[in-house]
Each structure stands twice: as C-alpha cells, then as structure tokens.
Amino acid sequence: MSNPFHNNAQPVAMTVSQLNRQVRSLLESHFDFVWVEGEISNFAAPSSGHWYFSLKDGSAQVRCAMFRGRNQRVRFQPQNGDHIRLRCRVSLYEGRGEFQLIVEHMEQAGAGALQAAFEQLKARLLAEGLFAPERKKPLPPHVSHLGVVTSPTGAAIHDILTVLKRRSPAIEVTILPVAVQGEGAAAQIAAAIEQANQLHKQGRIRLDALIVGRGGGSLEDLWAFNEEIVARAIAASDLPVVAAVGHEVDFSIADLVADQRAPTPSAAAEMLSPDQREQLQRLRKLEADLSRLMRRKLADAQTRLDHLRARLKHPGSLLREQSQRLDDLEQRLIRAQRNLLARRQGEIALLESRLRARSPLPRIRQRQQELAAQQQRLETAMQGRLQSGRQRLAHLAQMLDSLSPLNTLARGYAILSDSSGAVISDAATVSKGDRLQARLARGRLDVTVEDVPEGEPGR
C-alpha cells in the first residue's frame, strides 16, 4: 500500500474521509476479537434497534455500538451502571472519526456476591497452602490413558478429542460425565475426581492424568469450579490434574489448586499429548515452505486487496455507517424538537405574564376594596349620627316631660272643662249649677257648680 505521507516528489494531502478509512482499516486488520470489561454509561436504544453506549472504568472510556442482529441475542436489558464483559472488534466510525468498539457478544461481569465469595475462598485456601508450588505434582512425560471430567455433550470434550486425535490418536480417553453448571454440578465434579482415583488405585483403569474443565461462560456459568468441594477434591487427587476452565481470560479456584492450568480445554489436550519429534520436524519443514509460499501469496493478495479496497467499500460497512448516521440525525431531531418546545413554552409564559399585567382584575379588586372602605366609613358615620339623634331626642323628651301638664296633675291638680270641652281657667266664666268635667292624673270626674263666691278674683 502506498503511503501518502512519504513522497519524495511532492507531498500528497489526503481527504478526511481517506484518512479515516485508512485508520479504520489499520485498526480492524491489526486487532482480532478482544474481551473488554467495564461499566455502561450514556446508553441509548433508538428506533433502529441498535444500541449505543460508553464503556468506562476509573480513568477512561470508549464508545461502543451493538447492532440489532447481535443485541437480540442478549438475555438481559443493559442499563447505565451495569458491569459487563464484551467480545468485540476494534473499529472507527468514519463519519465522526470516532474510535469505537463493534460489540458481538455481551454478558454480565458477575461482580458482587459471587466475586466476594470467590475472593474469600481464594484467601482461605491460599492460607492453607493449597496453591503452593511445592505441593503440585509434575505432569507425566508420556500419557497413554487420559481421564476427562467434563460434560459429555459440551464443546470442551469435542475440542479435547479433536486435539488428541490430531496430535496422538493412540491415547486412550475415559470420560467421566458430569454436569458443569447448575445445582449439584460441584458435587458431581468432586465425586468424579474421587472415582477416577479409586479406579486407578484398584487397577481397574490405569490413568496417567486427569483433565477437569469445561468451555467458556460467565462467572455464574463457571461457578461450579469455584466451589470448595471441587478444590479439595483436586488437592486430594493422587493423579496429576490439569484444570482447563473456560477461555484464556477466565480464572477459577480449580485453576489455582490444580497441578497445571491450561488456558482452554484444547490447550490441556495439547499439554498432555506426547511429543512427536519426527512429525514435528517434518511439520516444521512443511510449515516453513508453506509459510514462504503463503507469505508470497498473501503479499500478492494484499496488494490486490489494497487496490480493490481503495476502489470499493464493503456494503455492510456502508450500511452500518448510514444506519449509525441516521441514528445520530434522529437524536439531533429529538433534541431540536425539545429545544423548540422549550422556547415556545417560554414565549407562552412571557405572554401570560404580560396579559396578567394588563388585566382589569387588579383595578377592580382595588375599587372593590375602596368601596368597602367607603361603605364602612358611611356606616360608622350613620351610626354616629343616629346615636347623637337618639341622645338629643331623649334630652328633648325629658324637657317636654318636665313641662307636661300631666306632671302637674300628678301633684293633685285637676283641669276643668265645660260641656264643650273648653278649659275653665277663670271662675267668673261659670255659674251656679253648671256641669263641669274635672280631669285628674288618673281618670275624670263630672262635677256641678254649687256656688260661685263673690269677690273671687276674676269675678
């Protein structure tokens, strides 16, 4: 591949798209699938069905994308804060020049109570010396009969038998079938190890070594090999034990107690296969010849591939990028709609504030308060005027009462009137025999004048 940064004639500038494409090609060609563990943040699941999130630890983070065809196989719904393990490819999102991981598999990391139990048992067995190198038995230089404690239907036994058939088909294999996960699996594994040792001691089966293990899985799946009963059964075994639990990144208590740890079941089979020196020498010669031929073929193919890659972009990659760009646009549209809605709500609030400021209701309430105050003052003034009138009326009534003739009558006086009702105030106006009426303080009297003395005033 030509390098645009080194040109003796004249430097050639690349476009941003060309640079990102070459960086992506370098990343994807120099990294195989990797396992990464961390905590989920910024999780998003747009309508396309793809998942986008960041995977972080205490000091760094990386963007991740898991497309719909892959995330449909995940058995749980990821959430922010979940601690997970990913099997992924290293890549670059060309549209933004952003380094990212393309996730193929996701599983829960299994931290928490199981991890705490693992560390607690590990510390206790370490203190007892079960991990000490001096107690570990060496593997036999030649193996003719091998015992395998694993599931009879799992991938591990298939890998072991395949490797042994390829490397040394003469080795005899006895399978001690057990459950490798779930309730009761640990007890079955420990019993199978003890059974293998008993059969060997009794001479019924002459075993040279044992492989104890299974294929990969989560911490929960591998937990049977972290049980104390399995660890003590391995430690008590007279036969050398090779632990082959999970993938290379998996580590169990059984691996620490065993005489030898193999990163995979296939590696355990290779470890116990006899050294076929002559075959190895021929294979090395053939390998060297094949390697030279393959390097030449690969160089030619790489040249053609680079030429074709520069001209043609894989439609799957283009489709994923377009899908990811569509998801970005969808997120931007959602944010824009929210911002527009927020601005409109702010404008409505401002108009409502202005409308309330111009509303006649405050002035009406003020006038009503003033009217109520005037009415209160009027009632107070009327009450005062009425009280003053009552007091004056009582005073006049008292004065009138003092001038009333009824008071005079009450002291024994009488008012005389003639038959026409005229009041008699002068004795000269009456004659003997006149009938008069005398009004007393209580009641009236009819009187007759019997005598009118002469010489009385007015006569």
Cα 226 versus chain centre, distance: 32
Give the tens place of pLDDT for each residue, 237-263. Answer: 999 999 999 887 778 999 999 999 999
Under a CB-based contact definition with an 8 Å cutoff, are residues 26 and 91 in contact?
A: no
- Catalogue the E-assigned strands of 45-144: 51-56, 61-66, 83-93, 98-108
Residue 332 structure tokens: 């931007």
* Residue 423 pLDDT: 85
Q: Are 82 and 75 in contact (CB under 8 A)?
A: no
pLDDT of residue 110: 58
* Whole-number Cα distances in Å, 1 to 11, 175, 299: 16, 52, 10
Strand partners, 52: 44, 65
The residue type at 219: L
d(CA 263, CA 255): 9
Please list, in sequence order, all residues whose beta carbon lies within 8 angstroms of the beta carbon of residue 320, skipping any fewer than 6 positions away: 65, 67
pLDDT tens, N- to C-terminus, the chain (459 residues): 445 545 556 678 889 988 889 888 888 888 878 899 999 999 999 999 999 999 998 889 999 999 998 888 887 788 998 888 899 999 999 888 899 999 999 887 755 556 767 888 999 999 999 999 999 999 998 899 999 999 999 899 999 999 998 888 889 999 999 999 988 999 999 999 999 999 999 999 999 999 999 988 777 788 899 999 999 999 999 999 999 998 877 789 999 999 999 999 999 999 998 756 656 777 788 888 888 888 888 888 888 887 877 776 667 777 888 888 888 899 999 999 999 999 999 999 898 888 877 878 878 888 899 899 899 999 998 998 999 889 988 888 888 777 777 777 777 788 888 888 888 888 888 888 888 888 887 888 888 888 888 755 544
pLDDT tens-digit profile of 86-139? 999 999 998 888 999 999 998 877 555 567 678 889 999 999 999 999 999 999
Query: What whole-number distance in Å separates Cα of residue 100 and Cα of residue 82?
Result: 19
pLDDT above 70 covers a percentage of the chain that reads 93
DSSP 360-424: SHHHHHHHHHHHHHHHHHHHHHHHHHHHHHHHHHHHHHHHHHHH-HHHHHHTT--EEE-TT--B-
User: Phi then psi for 217, rounded to 5 degrees?
Assistant: 175, -175
- Paired with 64 in beta bridges are 53, 101
Residue 257 CA to residue 232 CA, distance in Å, equals 8
Whether 136 contacts 260, CB under 8 Å: yes
